[in-house]
Structure 1
Amino acid sequence: MSKGPDKQDWFAAGLKERLPKEMRDAFTPEQVQALKIAFGARRWGRHPVDLRGTVNLWRSRYYFVFLLGRNHRDLSRAEESLSRAGKALILFGFLVFSMLVGVVALYILKSALGINLFPSFSLGLWDWMKGS
C-alpha cells in the first residue's frame, strides 16, 4: 500500500509552513527527520476528544486518559466479524424500536377513532394522553 507524498511528508510540510520564507529550504532531509524524531511527532496523536489529567488520592497520584476518535487502522478478521455483528445488532434494535413506536402510534390512532378490537379491554394509553 503506497502512500502519497502528502501522507509521507506531513511533518516537513507543516514545519516549512510555520518557518519564515528564508529558512524553509535551510534544512536537509536528514535534519528534518531528526527534528521529527526529536519532537516526537505522531500524526495519529490527534483526537477529537482528548482528555488527560491527574487525580490525587491519598498519597498517590493517578493519571487518566480518555481518547475518542475514528479508528483508521485495518481491522483483524475477528474485529471485522465483531463489527458486522455489532452493526447487525444496532440495526435490529433500531427496527424493533421503530416497530414498537409504529404499533403504539397505530394503537393511539385506533383509540382516538373509537375503534375497540376487544370489548371491555383497553391499555389506557388514549385515556392517559387525554388526561395529560
Structure 2
Amino acid sequence: MSQKNHPTSDPAMQALLKRLSPSIANSFTTEQLIALASIVGARGGRVHAIDVRTTIKLPFVPFSFYLVFLMGKNRRALNATEQCIAVFSMFLFIALNVIFLTCLIVVILYLIKSALGIDLISGYSTGLWDWFTTQ
C-alpha cells in the first residue's frame, strides 16, 4: 500500500491516533487501521444530535447529488456579537415565558374566583366564565 493511500494519511485518522497513547497507536495493524478509517471516515469522529447523510439519484441525470443535514450543540467559543445575541435571546425567552405564565395564572385565578361566586366589580364581567361554562 502506498504512503498516499495509507489510512494514517487521513486527517481524521491522524486526529484519532493523536488522542491515543503512542504505544496503543503504534500497535494497530494496517487492516485494523483500515477498519477504523472506514468507521471514522468523513465524519471525523464527531457525534451530532441529528446526522442525515444521503445520496439522491435523479432520473435522466448522469450524476447524483449528496445531501447532508447536521444539527447539534455548538461547542465552539462564541465571539462578542454571538454572545450578545445569545444573552438577548435568553432574556427574551425568559421574559416571554414569565409573561405567558403570569397571564395563565391570572386566568386560572379569575376562573377560580368566578367559580366561587366572588364578584369584585358588581355588574361587570369579562365573559370568560360564561364562555368557560358553556364549553
Return the TM-score normalized by structure 2: 0.61
Give 2:48's aligned residue: 47
Aligned residue for 2:27?
25
Instruction: Tell me the residue number matched to 2:72.
Output: 69
1:99 is paired with a residue whose SS is helix
| Residue 12 of structure 1 pairs with residue 12 of structure 2 | no
- For structure 2, the 5+ residue unaligned runs are 1-13, 21-25
Q: Which amino acid aligns with 1:107?
A: Y
C-alpha RMSD over aligned residues: 3.9
SS of the residue corresponding to residue 120 of structure 2 reads coil
Distance 1:12 1:107, change over 3 A: same
Q: 1:11–1:41: 8 Å Cα contact kept in structure 2?
A: no
CA offsets 1:61-85 (integer angstroms, 9 cap, x no match): 7654332111111111110111000
Q: Deviations over 1:76-125 (max 9, x none)?
A: 11101110000000000010011000110111111111122222221222
Structure of higher RCO (CA pairs closer than 8 Å, 6+ residues apart): 2
2:85 is aligned with 1:82: yes
The amino acid of 2:48's aligned partner reads H
Q: Deviations over 1:16-43 (max 9, x none)?
A: xxxxxxxx81459xx89xx69x944613
Q: Quick one: percent identity of the two aligned structures?
A: 30
Unaligned runs of 5+ in 1: 1-8, 16-23
